Amino acid sequence: MKEADVLIIGGSAAGMVTAMTGKSNWPKKDFILVKKQKDVMVPCGIPYIFGTLESIDKNIMPVDVALQKSGVKSLVDEAVNIDSENKVVTFASGDKIKYNKLVISTGSTPIKPSWLKGADLENVFTVPKDVVYLNEMKNKLGDAKNIAVIGAGFIGVELSDELSKHGYNVTLIEKMPNILNLAFDVEVADKISSLLTERGIKVITGKGIGRVLGEQKVEAIELEDGERLAIDAVVLSVGYKPNTKLAQDSGIFVDEDKFIAVNEYMRTHEKDVFAVGDCAQKRDFVTRSRVGTMLASTACAEARICGMNLFNLNVVKTFSGTIAIYSTCIGNTGFGTAGVTEQRAEMEGIATISGLFEGINRHPGNLPDAHKQIVKLVAAKNSGVIIGGEVIGGLEAGELTNVIGLAIQNRMSVNSFLTTQIGTHPCLTASPAAYPLIKAAEIIANKMLQNMKEE
Amino acid sequence: MKEADVLIIGGSAAGMVTAMTGKSNWPKKDFILVKKQKDVMVPCGIPYIFGTLESIDKNIMPVDVALQKSGVKSLVDEAVNIDSENKVVTFASGDKIKYNKLVISTGSTPIKPSWLKGADLENVFTVPKDVVYLNEMKNKLGDAKNIAVIGAGFIGVELSDELSKHGYNVTLIEKMPNILNLAFDVEVADKISSLLTERGIKVITGKGIGRVLGEQKVEAIELEDGERLAIDAVVLSVGYKPNTKLAQDSGIFVDEDKFIAVNEYMRTHEKDVFAVGDCAQKRDFVTRSRVGTMLASTACAEARICGMNLFNLNVVKTFSGTIAIYSTCIGNTGFGTAGVTEQRAEMEGIATISGLFEGINRHPGNLPDAHKQIVKLVAAKNSGVIIGGEVIGGLEAGELTNVIGLAIQNRMSVNSFLTTQIGTHPCLTASPAAYPLIKAAEIIANKMLQNMKEE
C-alpha cells in the first residue's frame, strides 16, 4: 500500500494551496495530492472562457507545475472511501493510500433544482468546474441564439455579460428583487443592473423560472407568472452544493447544510482529518452564523491555515471566520463587496449605520480614463466598527475592496478611518481630498454625532 | 475688523480639507479661508499638465465650489503677519482678521540650490504649485528640444515621462545611485528606471549637476564629473522647502528644518494655532524620526485630524505619524510604496527581513491586459511586524499600495498576513493561490522560521 504523511483529496485551489503551504512548512513530510481530472480550471476564470478568453485551454490552472516545484506528488484518481480509523483512503482504481494527515478539498457541484420541470432537456446547462463538461457545453451552445441565464449571482452576471459579448441574446433571470442580492444592497445592485441593460442584456428580477419547455431540446422557458420566452439554451447558475458525500458516507461529521464541520484550524471532528474550500463549513466573520460562501479566495485562505497547522496547531494562525470579499467587472467598470451588506446585517439583527459617497477614481476628473467611484460603508451602529463595504469604480475596484476587507479584519472603526492615511495619485486613485472610502466614513461619523445629540 | 471663529491661511489641499472637515464638525462656527491665488492647482496633477492633460485649466482644483458648498467663506489675499497674542492676522491688502483658532497651511516652495551656477539663466525652471508660473513655463518650453530634469524623485520621474510624451528629448539626472531613492529599494527602482529608458528617456544616476551654462538662456549643463550635455531647458526638481517664514517671523516655533512644530493634534506651540500640510512638522510612523515627506495625501490626513480637533482635542482622533504612501505610473505600469524601504530602515538602525514575490495581476495570466505584479514587503526582523512595502503592477498598484499602508497602520505582522482574507477576480487581481502580497509574507515567514532554527 502507498503511504503519505499528508494525503490531499481534490486538486483545485484549496487542495493545491494546502499542498504548497503544507510542504513549505513541513518540508520533510511526503505529500500526495489526488485529483479527479488531469486538467483543473482556474475556477473564477470559467465565465470568461465563453467570451474574453476564447478558449478553455487558456483557463487551465498550472497545478501540476506548481505541485512539482513544491515537491508534492500528484495523481489522477477518485477517492471512494475514507477509513479514518485505519487512516486509509480507497480510490476508484482500487488503489489504497495510507495517510498520517488527510485533507479533504473536494469542492462543490452546481445545484440543478429537482423541482424544475424540463431541467433534463438538451441544452439545459449548469456551470461545474469540469473541463470536459464545459468543452462540450461550449460546443453545444454554438448553435443557440437566445440564452436564458437563471440566477444573478456573480457567476450568472459574469456569464451573461460574456455570452452577450460573444453575440448571444441573453436574458438574465433573478427570483430576488435585485441582482447580486447577497453581495450588494439594492442601490448599488441597481447600478450594476443598469450597466448590464446598457450592454444589451435583458434583466428580469423578482421573478423566478417556472419550467423549461421543449420536445428534446429547450424551446422556451416559462416564468413563475406564466410569461413565456423563446429560448434555445438555459444556463442554471442558482448556487452550488458542497461535495461531501464521500466524507459523510465515511462517517466524517457534516453539518445540517452538508458542509464538513471544521474548527478554526480547519480540522474536522476527526483529529487527523482536515477540510478546506467549498466543501468545508464556514462561519461569517461578523455575524458568526454559518454561511454558504464559496470563493476561491476564501478557499485559499483556509488552505493556508490548514497547511500551517497540519502537524502542530499554531494558536496565532487560525481562521477567524469568513469575510465574503467578492469583486467583478463589467467592461471597464469594477465592483466589489466585503463583509456584510446592510440588508444582511438587518436580517441577522445587527443595528447598522451606513454612508455612501460618490466620487471619481482619478484627480483631476479630466484625466482621460476617469471613472465614477462609489463607496458605501456599513458600520455597527453603536461602536462604529466597520462590518461591510461596497465599491463601484474602475478596474481598481478589486484592490479597493481589499482595503475595506483588511479594515474589517482589523476591526477598524469609522474613527480610525477618519485618521487613516491613504496614498493617492492622479492617474491611479481618487483625490486625497475626496477619497470616497474616507468620505463615506465621514458621513457615518456625522450621522453618529447627530444620533448622540438627539439621544 | 473682520472676525472668524476659524481662520485658515492657505487654499491648497491641506487648507481646503481642514476647512471642510472643520465646518462639518463645528457647523455653528464661522470659517474663513484665505488663499494667495484665485486658482489652485491639483498638486499631484501638475506633472500631467505637460502631457496627458494638455491644458493647465484641466488641472484646477474646485476649491471655491467645495468651500461654498461647505459654508466656508474664501478670500484671495496674502497673510503678512500673525499676532498670536491678540489673535489677529494682517494681510498684504491691509485687511486684518481676528480669529479664535488659526490654521496655517502655507505649503512649500521648490528648492533652487544657491550653489548652482547658472541657475538664474533663462529656461531654468522649478515646479511650484503656482498657476501663473506654470503657464509661463509651459509657453517658454515650447521652443525647447532637449530638456534636462534634475532630481529623480516622483515629480522628476513623472515630469520626465510627460515631457517625453509631449515630444521633448529628456535627460533625467539623479545624484543618488538610483532613481526614486527615498521611496524604493534599488531592485525595484531599477525596474522603473528601465521602463523610462525603454520610453526614450535618458537616465543618468550617481552623478549630480555641476553647473548650468549659457549666455542668457540655457545652452548646456555640466555634470559633477565635467561631462557636458547640450540642453535648451532645465527643470530642477530637487525637493521642496516648507513655507514657514510668516510663522517664524511671527514667533511661532519652527524646528531646525524650518517646519512648524506640531503635536499629534496638529497644534503648534501656540494653543490656538494649528499647522497642517507641507509646512507642518512630520514624524515617521515607523522610525519616529522627523521626516520631510510632502504629499497631498498626508496633508489631507493631517487636515482631517486638525479639523476634528479645532475646538476640543479628541484623544481617539490623533495623527499617529507619517506613513509615506506614494504611488505613480508610467504608461500602464503602476508603482507604489508605503512605509519605510529596507535601505531607510537600515539607516535608522531597524533590523529587517524582507520578501519579494513576482506574480501577475490577472488570473489566468492569459487575460488580455495582464501585467507583471511584484510585491516586496519589509518587516521588523524579530516581531515580523510589517513596516514597509513596494509594488509594481498595473494601474491597480495604487490601491494595492493602500492595502499595505493599512496593514502598516494596523501594525499587522507577517503572521496576520498569512491568515488574511483577500478578494480576487480574474480581471481585477492576482490569483488567490499566488497573490503576491501574501506570497511575499510567506517568504518572510519562511526566512523567520529558518532564522529560528539556526539560532
Residues 386-415 of A with CB under 8 A from B: 394-403, 405-407, 409-410, 412, 415
* A333-339: strand order across its sheet: A325-330, A333-339, A386-393, A372-380, A352-360
Could you give the CA distance from residue A316 to residue B448 in angstroms, rounded to a whole number?
Answer: 15
- Find the radius of gyration of the CA atoms of chain B: 23
Half-sphere exposure of B204 (CA within 13 A, CB side): 19
Side-chain half-sphere exposure of A363, counting CA atoms within 13 A: 24
Residues in chain A: 455
The whole-angstrom separation of Cα B34 and Cα B51 is: 31
Residue B325 near residue B405, CB atoms below 8 Å = yes
φ, ψ of residue B47 to 5 degrees: the values are -55, -30
- Helical axes B436-454 vs B397-409, angle rounded to 10°: 40
Q: How many residues does chain B have?
A: 455
3-state helix, strand, coil in chain A (%, to 5): 30, 30, 40
- Tell me the chain A residues in contact with residue B364 when contact means C-beta distances shorter than 8 Å: 42, 45, 53, 58-61
Sign for the pseudo-dihedral over CA of B92, B93, B98, B103: negative
- CATH superfamily placement of domain A325-454: FAD/NAD-linked reductase, C-terminal dimerisation domain (3.30.390.30)
CATH of domain A2-109+241-308: 3.50.50.60
| E strand intervals along B105-162 | 108-110, 124-125, 146-150
Residue B98's pLDDT is 98
* Residues above pLDDT 70, as percent of chain B: 100
Residue A9: strand pairing partners: A34, A104
Q: Which of A41-55, A341-355, B135-149, B239-253 has the lowest mean pLDDT?
A: A41-55
pLDDT band at B378 (very low <50, low <70, confident <90, very high): very high
Q: How many CB atoms lie within 10 A of CB B78?
A: 14
Using CA atoms of B436, B441, B442, B448 in order, give the dihedral in degrees to the nearest 10.
Answer: 150
B446–A422 CB contact, under 8 Å: no
B450 touches chain A (CB under 8 A): no
- Write the residue in A300, A326, A423 that is nearest to B325 by C-beta: A423
Sign of CA dihedral B194, B196, B202, B203: negative
ipTM of the complex: 0.94
- Cβ atoms of B404 and B213 within 8 Å: the answer is no
Pick the CATH number of B112-238 from 3.50.50.60, 3.40.50.1370, 3.40.50.300, 3.40.50.2000: 3.50.50.60
Phi/psi at A33 (nearest 5 deg)? Answer: -115, 130
Distance (Å, rounded) from C-alpha B39 to C-alpha B20?
Answer: 18
Chain mean position to CA B340: 14
- CA-to-CA distance for A222 and A209, rounded, in angstroms? 6
For chain B, how are helix, strand and coil distributed in percent, rounded to 5?
30, 30, 40
Q: What is the mean pLDDT of chain B?
A: 96
Residue B202, pLDDT > 80, answer: yes
Task: Please indicate whether, in this complex, the C-beta atoms of A410 and B406 are within 8 angstroms of each other.
Answer: yes
* Closest to B12 measured CA to CA, from B224, B332, B243, B167: B243
- On the CB side of A191, CA atoms within 13 Å amount to 18
Per-residue pLDDT tens digits for B44-79? 999 999 988 878 889 998 899 999 999 999 999 999
Q: Name residue, grid cell 449571482.
A: A153
CA distances from B295 to A431, B64, B239 (A): 12, 22, 12
Is the CB of residue B300 less than 8 Å away from at least one CB of chain A? yes
Residues in A touching B433 (Cβ below 8 Å): 13, 16-17, 20, 61, 66, 296, 300
C-alpha span between B455 and B13 (Å, rounded): 50
- Tell me the DSSP string of B288-349: --EE----HHHHHHHHHHHHHTSSS--TTS----B--EEEEEETTEEEEEEE--HHHHHHTT
Q: Which three cell numbers stand for residue A281?
A: 463549513
A211, A239, A232, A233: which is closest to A155 by C-alpha? A239
Cβ contact A327–B400 (<8 Å): no
Q: Which residue of B has its CA nearest to A43?
A: B426
User: How much is the pTM?
Assistant: 0.95
Distance CA A53, CA A166 (A): 11
- As a whole number, mean pLDDT of residues B217-228 equals 97
- Burial of residue A222, with CB atoms counted within 10 A of its CB: 0-12 exposed, 13-18 middle, 19 or more buried: middle
Indicate yes or no: CB of B423 within 8 angstroms of CB of A405: yes
CB B64 within 8 A of CB B252: no
Q: Which of residues 24-63 of B touch A (CB under 8 A)?
A: 24-25, 42, 44-45, 48, 52-53, 58-61
User: Are the C-beta atoms of residues B335 and B184 closer than 8 Å to each other?
Assistant: yes
Which residues on neighbouring strands pair with residue A90, listed in sequence order? A81, A96
Contact A432 B297 (CB under 8 A): yes
For residue A419, give the nearest of B296, B317, B431 by CB distance: B317
Contacts of B28 (CB under 8 A, 6+ apart): none
Instruction: Report the relative pairing of strands B386-393 and A202-205 from DSSP bridges.
Output: unpaired
B289 at interface of A, judged by CB pairs closer than 8 A:
no
What is the least distance, in Å, from the CA of A447 to any CA of chain B?
11
Q: How many angstroms from the chain centroid is the CA of residue B380?
A: 24
- Given CB atoms, is A329 within the 8 Å cutoff of chain B? yes
Query: How far is the C-alpha of B373 from the C-alpha of B391, rounded, in Å?
Result: 7
Cell of B301: 490626513
Residues of A in contact with B42 (CB under 8 A): 363-364, 426, 431
What residues contact B206, with CB distance under 8 A and at least 6 apart?
Answer: B174, B175, B176, B177
- Delimit the CATH 3.50.50.60 region(s) of chain A: 2-109+241-308, 112-238
Q: How far apart are CA A218 and CA A241, in angstroms?
A: 25
User: In Å, what is the CA distance from B86 to each residue of A108, B4, B90, B100, B106?
Assistant: 73, 13, 11, 10, 21
Give the Cα separation of A124 and A112 in Å (integer).
10
Chosen for mutation from A105, A369, A399 (greatest number of chain B CBs closer than 10 Å) is: A399
Q: What is the pLDDT of residues B305-351, one digit of tens each?
A: 999 999 999 888 999 999 999 999 999 999 999 999 999 999 999 99
Checking phi first, is residue A321 left (phi over 0); if not, alpha (psi -120 to 50) or beta? left
Q: In this predicted structure, what is the pLDDT of residue B453?
A: 82
pLDDT at B341: 97
Q: Which of chain B's residues have a Cβ under 8 Å away from the Cβ of A420?
A: 301, 406, 409
Min Cα distance B86 → chain A (Å) is 32
pLDDT of B51 reads 87
Residue B229 confidence (pLDDT): 98
CB contact at 8 A, B304 and B291: no
With cell 490623533, the residue in question is B318
Whether the Cβ atoms of residue B56 and residue B138 lie closer than 8 Å to each other: yes
- If you count residue pairs, one on A and one on B, with CB atoms under 8 Å apart, how many are there? 259
A409–B420 CB contact, under 8 Å: yes
- Cα separation of A442 and B22, whole Å? 12
pLDDT-flagged residues of chain A (< 50):
none
**For residues B252 and B51, what is the distance between their CA atoms, to the nearest angstrom?**
41
CB contact under 8 A, A399 and B402: yes
Would the CB atoms of A400 and B399 count as touching at under 8 Å?
yes
